[in-house]
C-alpha cells in the first residue's frame, strides 16, 4: 500500500512540474495512506472533485 511518504513524493513531483494539488485531493490521499479508503474510493473521490463522474 502507498504510504504518506509516497504521497508526499508524488505531490512534490507534481509541484516541480508546475502543477498544483488541491486540498481536497490531499485530504483524500491522506485517508488512503491511513487505510481509511481503498484505491477505488480514492479514484471515485478524485473523479467527483473534478467533475469526471460517469466518464
pLDDT digits (tens, 9 = 90+) for 27-39: 999 999 899 999 9
> pLDDT tier at 40 (50, 70, 90 boundaries)?
very high
Whether residue 25 lies inside any domain: the answer is: yes
CA-to-CA separations, 21 to 13, 17, 31, 41, 54, in angstroms, rounded: 11, 12, 15, 18, 22
Whether residue 55 lies inside any domain: the answer is: no
Domain count, the chain: 1
pLDDT value of residue 43: 92
Whether residue 26 lies inside any domain: the answer is: yes
Residue of 52, 30, 32, 50 lying closest to 40 (CA atoms) = 32
What are the helix (H) ranges across 1-55? 4-16, 23-33, 39-49
pTM score:
0.73
Amino acid at each position: 500500500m502507498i504510504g504518506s511518504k509516497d504521497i508526499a513524493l508524488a505531490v512534490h513531483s507534481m509541484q516541480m512540474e508546475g502543477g498544483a494539488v488541491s486540498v481536497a485531493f490531499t485530504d483524500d490521499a491522506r485517508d488512503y495512506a491511513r487505510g481509511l479508503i481503498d484505491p477505488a474510493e480514492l479514484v471515485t473521490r478524485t473523479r467527483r472533485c473534478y467533475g469526471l463522474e460517469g466518464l
